[in-house]
Structures are given as structure tokens and as C-alpha cells.
Amino acid sequence: MTSSAKENALVEALLACKLASLPLPADVKGTWLAEGVLQLIPAEPWQQATVISAGIHGNETAPIEMLLRILADISSGKQPLHQAILVVFGNLPSMRANKRYLHNDMNRLFGGRHAQAKPGNESRRAAQLEQVVADFFASTAPQSQSNRLHLDLHTAIRGSRFAQFSLIPFHRHAYHPSFFALQEACGLDAVVQHTAPGGTFSNFTSDAFGAQSCTLELGKALPFGQNDLTQFATTEAALRALIAGETLPTRDKAPVRYFSVAESIIKSDARFTLNLDPQAENFTELDVGYEIASQPGKHWTVSAKAPYILFPNAGVALGLRAGMLLQPASPCLSLPD
């Protein structure tokens, strides 16, 4: 069996064994809202409704494996569940193909943007996920009230000087100190605040439902079976404590660094050029005055205010973000007026 065939067999086994027929303890009610989307409600009173998603990009496999492991322990009774959760395995066809996506980058299609995209696997799935999340939050509203969370788990394409970090979507409603305490407990090295709306899954849940939402980047994307899940042990412990309604783990590493997006580099011309080593890591500090990117009629130059680069990628489609320039921010991540 080839390496690719082995990986496909592994993901099929994971999906078939863990998702098709999952036995649950008597005190947990499970409902499949769609393929790969499982709602779990404990019998006892609960105060929080949480969406935990992974696999929005199908080749970002470590969070998928971590969630499957947590689900297996809920199934066996080893993992307590005292909060309502919706577990979402996002892009199943691209997971099976070990590809980021098949037709469109799904994490640019939320908030209704799927309606303007070329029809395909991701546009259909984004529309479906918007509906199932709406159904979940509607059904849990009487008890959860405003205690809505969404953690969208990813891994990054390239290496990072801060190995694990989160991105907070643009928002106007309050983000609670307890949410940032969760970021700390997850062992994140950095937190980045978006300063403009976007088409991400976490932006959708924050904007549409007033949820405390974020995208968690937990390391580098690797094929199924090649992940060292011990690297994500701190995040996994925090997630397990969260859904069990237990005290979050105590942080035992350097303080979180906070950033906000000063400028997005939007590729709008086929002659776009990104002047950066392909191996440059996320959060690389660039020289002031350096021309980081250009296209006819537009040049991006690094300023002393915002010298850090995040998610540089010249290969994105026209109209999409080819990178972000970051500036240091205070822990409260205040948005501009």
C-alpha cells in the first residue's frame, strides 16, 4: 500500500469508527445535525454552549485527531461532559483527499460569502455549517444565554516564531476576561486581533450570534498519522476542562504576546509580487522600510509601527489576503473607535 493510500485508509477508518456510530453514556444526548457534525447535550443543567470545529481545511489534521480522541473518551465515559457542545469536522471530502480544499478556501466563504462563490464542495458545506450552528445556538439558547463560545482549530501552512497562536475576529460586542483566560490556559504563545470583518468561520459565529470566537493555530499542517499530539497537550487539557466545567489548567510558560492587524495585503492583480523568502516564518520581524509586496498601483512597505508578517502567501486567488502586517497590542485588544 502506498503512503497516500495508507493515509486515505487511516482517515476513512477514523471517520467510520469514530463518527458513524458513536455510543454515548446515558447522561449525554447525541444528535447528528449533518455528516461530521455532532451535538452533545448533558442531562444535567449546563451554562455554556460551545462549538469546537476542526478540518475546515482538510489537510490540517492534528486538531482533527485531537477531537477524535476527546470524542472517544466522551463515548467511553472517561471524559466528563457538563456543557453543551457542537463538534464540527468541517471539510470531509478534502480531509479524505488530504488537501486544504477542493474548490474554494472554505474559511473565506462564511457570513453568506458562499452565495457569491463558484458552486462547489466548500460553498455547499459553508452554507450547511452556518445553518447547523444557527440550529445549535437556537436550541441551546434557554440555558446558554450569552455564554456562547466557538473555537475553530487549525494548523498553519508554514512555521511560526510563535508556535501556537489565536486570531480573534473583528467584533463590537464584549469579549469577556474569561475568554482570554482560556487563551492563556491553552498555552498559546500569541493572540492576534483582526481589525476588519472577514469570511472566516469564527468571524461568522462572533458576528451572527455574539459568540466569543477565535481561530486557534496549533502548529504546522501534517498528514494524518504524522502528528505528535503531545505538542498540543496543553490545549487539549484546557479543552477537556472547558467542556467538563472544571477549573482551567494553570499556565506554566512565558506570557502571551498580543498583536493587532495594522494592514492586510490584498492581492488584486496577477502581477502581484511578495518579496519574502518562502521559508520565512509567521511573526518574522521585518526591516523598517522594506517593500514586502507590490502590484501595479500599490506597494506595501514595512513601518516601525507594524513590522511583523503573518500568513504570507503569494499563491492566493485574486481578491484574497496574501499576508498581514501586525503591530504589538495591549492584552485587552481594544478596537479602534
pLDDT in tens, 189-223: 999 999 999 999 999 999 999 999 999 998 776 66
Which amino acid belongs to residue 328? Answer: P
Annotated binding site for Zn(2+): 57, 60, 154
pLDDT at 2: 43
pLDDT in tens, 54-83: 999 998 888 998 898 898 899 889 999 999
Q: Helix H segments across the chain? A: 3-15, 62-76, 92-97, 121-144, 177-185, 201-209, 233-244
Report the number of distinct structural domains present in the chain.
Answer: 2
Annotated binding site: 57, 60, 154
Write the CATH number for 53: 3.40.630.10
The last residue of a domain, from among 217, 244, 271? 244
253 within some domain? no
Confidence band (pLDDT; 50, 70, 90) for 333? low
Please state the pTM of the whole predicted model.
0.89
Q: Strands, DSSP E only, in 204-307? A: 212-220, 257-266, 273-274, 284-285, 291-295, 298-301
**Which position among 217, 246, 285, 291 bears the catalytic label?**
217
210 within some domain? yes
**Residues 73 and 215 grouped into a single domain:** yes
pLDDT at 11: 54
**Residues 238 and 274 grouped into a single domain:** no
Range of the domain at 284: 263-328
| 7 has catalytic annotation | no
Q: Which residues pair with 216 in a beta bridge?
A: 153, 166
- Sheet containing strand 298-301, edge to edge, reads 273-274, 291-295, 298-301
